[in-house]
Amino acid sequence: MINKSTIVASDWVKMVIFYICMIVMRFVMVGTFYKILQRHGYGLSKAEFWVIIWGGLRGALGLTLALMVGVDTALPQRLRELTVFYMSGTATLTLLINGTTCASL
C-alpha cells in the first residue's frame, strides 16, 4: 500500500514527534488527575503513576482505526498511507522503547 516515494524524511521526523507528543499528553492527563486517583479507590503510588504513563497501551485500537482509514477509498491516497504509517510507526516505537524499558520503572 505504501510506495517508496510516498513517505519522505519529514514524515519520519513527524512520526517521532507524534510519539513524543503521545507521552507528553499522557503525562498531562494522568498528572491532572493524580491527586484524585491517589486519594480515591485503590490509591495510586508514584511508581504506578510512572508505569501508567510509560507503559500505557497505545497500539491495538489506534492500529484498528488506522487500518479502517487505510482501506477507505473515499479518502485521498496520501492521507490513507500517512495515517497507517504514523500509527504503525508510533505503535512500533511504543513496543520497542516503552516495552523494553518499562521494567526499569
Name the pTM for this structure. 0.80
In a domain, 1, yes or no: no
CB 79 within 8 A of CB 2: no
Which residue, among 54, 63, 55, has the nearest Cα to 90 in the 3D structure? 63
The confidence score (pLDDT) of residue 7 equals 86
In a domain, 34, yes or no: yes
In a domain, 4, yes or no: no
In a domain, 71, yes or no: yes
pLDDT in tens, 60-92: 888 898 999 999 999 998 899 999 999 999 999
Mean pLDDT of the chain: 88
Amino acid at 102: C
pLDDT in tens, 21-36: 999 999 999 999 999 9
In a domain, 60, yes or no: yes
Q: How many domains does the chain have?
A: 1
In a domain, 84, yes or no: yes
In a domain, 49, yes or no: yes
In a domain, 2, yes or no: no
Domain, as residue range, for 25: 11-104
Helix (H) or strand (E) holding 40: none
